[in-house]
Amino acid sequence: MAILLDSENNVFTLQTNHSMYQMKADRYGVLLHTWFGEKGKNFDYSYLITYADRGFSGNPYDVEDERTYSLDALPQEYPTYGSGDYRGSALKVRYPDGTTSCELRYVKHEVLEGKYSIPGLPAIYQMPENKADTLVITLEDTRKVFYVHLYYGVMEDLDIITRSVRIENHSDAPIYLENVQSTCVDYLHGEFDLHTFYGRHVKERNYQRAAIHHGIQSVGSTRGMSSHQYNPFLILSDKDTT
């Protein structure tokens, strides 16, 4: 089965033939990323998360004096700007009053048969010979203004897990989406190499491999399209992977 649910503990596990992806809504409703990698036994991998007093990493208001709980250090599934997490965020929202502080909490989940679609945009679609399922996890901001629907398409036999996000404003006032990313993956451990493809006219997709270093590494194009100079694709691998 591609999507495994532990509704009592809010653990969500996605499995393909060779890989596994897992999330958990913790006791505060924060959706944490617990595993992405080789397929293994299905149990709660949140035991890998280390809780410690991080000093200059702040603590959410609703955890009160629990100083070992900081969004700046936890592996979040969909981190937001202005939550006390000073790493890169997947979502930045500006409210009508101009504030940008935002935190998300788990609301519900739903499993759909088949692969979700993205109207008007290119995407991977399910073929008749390939079974697919979709997990939708709904989060809500703590100000009760909008929902974030996270879509996970699982094509088990093809070893593919896709990601997409939909923002739903359920208030009467407009909100402004200043940055929306389809995915964010926090890794708990590991040293990785980054594989990218650069090029030029009639010499596209030259292979390049480099070690991940501290700071931001990015691949992109300012042409309004992916272009032959930078292919919109990257691979992360362990250093000993050939």
Task: List the chain domain ranges.
Answer: 3-180, 192-238
Residue with tokens 């997709």: 205
Distance CA 77, CA 181 (A): 12
Distance CA 134, CA 86 (A): 31
pLDDT in tens, 51-94: 999 888 889 998 988 999 999 999 999 999 999 999 999 999 99
Does 237 have pLDDT greater than 80? yes
Q: What is the pTM of this model?
A: 0.91
Does 232 have pLDDT greater than 90? no
Predicted pLDDT of residue 228: 80
Mean of per-residue pLDDT scores for the chain: 92
**Which of the four CATH numbers 2.40.30.10, 2.70.98.60, 1.10.150.120, 1.10.3720.10 does domain 3-180 have?**
2.70.98.60
Does 155 have pLDDT greater than 80? yes
Find the mean pLDDT for residues 12-32: 97
Percentage of the chain beyond pLDDT 90 is: 71
Distance of CA 230 to the CA centre of its chain: 23
Predicted pLDDT of residue 31: 98
Length reported for the chain: 242
Distance CA 90, CA 210 (A): 24
How sure is the predictor about 174, in pLDDT bands with cuts at 50, 70 and 90? very high
How sure is the predictor about 229, in pLDDT bands with cuts at 50, 70 and 90? confident
Distance CA 158, CA 131 (A): 9
SS3 63: helix
Q: Longest Cα pair distance anywhere in the chain, in angstroms?
A: 60
Predicted pLDDT of residue 242: 79
